Chain A
Amino acid sequence: NAGVMQNPRHLVRRRGQEARLRCSPMKGHSHVYWYRQLPEEGLKFMVYLQKENIIDESGMPKERFSAEFPKEGPSILRIQQVVRGDSAAYFCASSPLEGLGTEAFFGQGTRLTVV
């Protein structure tokens, strides 16, 4: 029973390039959350998705960031035209359909470095 799988684990992008971060939730989980962790900071909520729906994107920057969770395949967090300030660890978490408000399981994260 694999946990939440994120890839790549490390991603280096030059300023202005696009970054695509992928997240496969735990088997049976249909809720996905993305969080961003800046150095020496706690995790900050970005977006909450269910299959084919964005439920809450209140933590997502208004420009350059987008997220999707298609019917088939992993959830994708996309950052266009990356800037140095986007360098952070991005974590995905998932929770089961019947467990609203209960434990969310985190992946190991994608560490994005913008050079």
Chain B
Amino acid sequence: QQQVKQSPQSLIVQKGGIPIINCAYENTAFDYFPWYQQFPGKGPALLIAIRPDVSEKKEGRFTISFNKSAKQFSLHIMDSQPGDSATYFCAASIHSGYSTLTFGKGTMLLVSP
């Protein structure tokens, strides 16, 4: 039973484009939604995270949009660069407990020069 569904599986955009990655969750107890960036051969690194009391959060070129009623959240990367090429994972957890994260399956992003 997959509790966090992520799409698309892969994505190719040109430099300067705005890739959008979507996630949907099932467990209404989730209240912490981070995005992780992973380069080949490396561990995941936290990119940006949101809690359900806000509908949008921006950090630099990265924006999370959150729709609580639809149980969906998405990552937008503004002015994407070739260096953003990586695999992106959405995740969810119950903030009031310990940080056991439930991950989506990942989106492999390629930003072409």
Contact = CB atoms under 8 A, between A and B. Distances in A.
B43 A56 contact: no
A43 B98 contact: no
B93 to A, nearest CB: 7
A33 B98 CA distance: 10
Contacts of B95: 101-102
Contacts, number: 70
A101 B89 CA distance: 18
In this complex, the member of A41, A42, A107 whose beta carbon has the largest number of chain B beta carbons within 10 angstroms is A42
Contacts of A41: 105-106
Contact of B98 (A55, A91, A103): A55
**SS class of chain B's interface: helix, strand, loop or mixed?**
loop
Contacts of B94: 101
B71 to A, nearest CB: 18
Contacts of A100: 97-99
Nearest to A47: B100
B44 interface: yes
Given A42-B104, A103-B99, A104-B101, 5 more contacts: A45-B102, A93-B99, A102-B32, A106-B43, A108-B42
Interface of A: 4, 6, 31, 33, 35, 40-45, 48, 55-56, 91, 93, 95, 99-109
The 4 closest A-B pairs by CB, nearest first: A42-B103, A106-B43, A101-B95, A104-B99
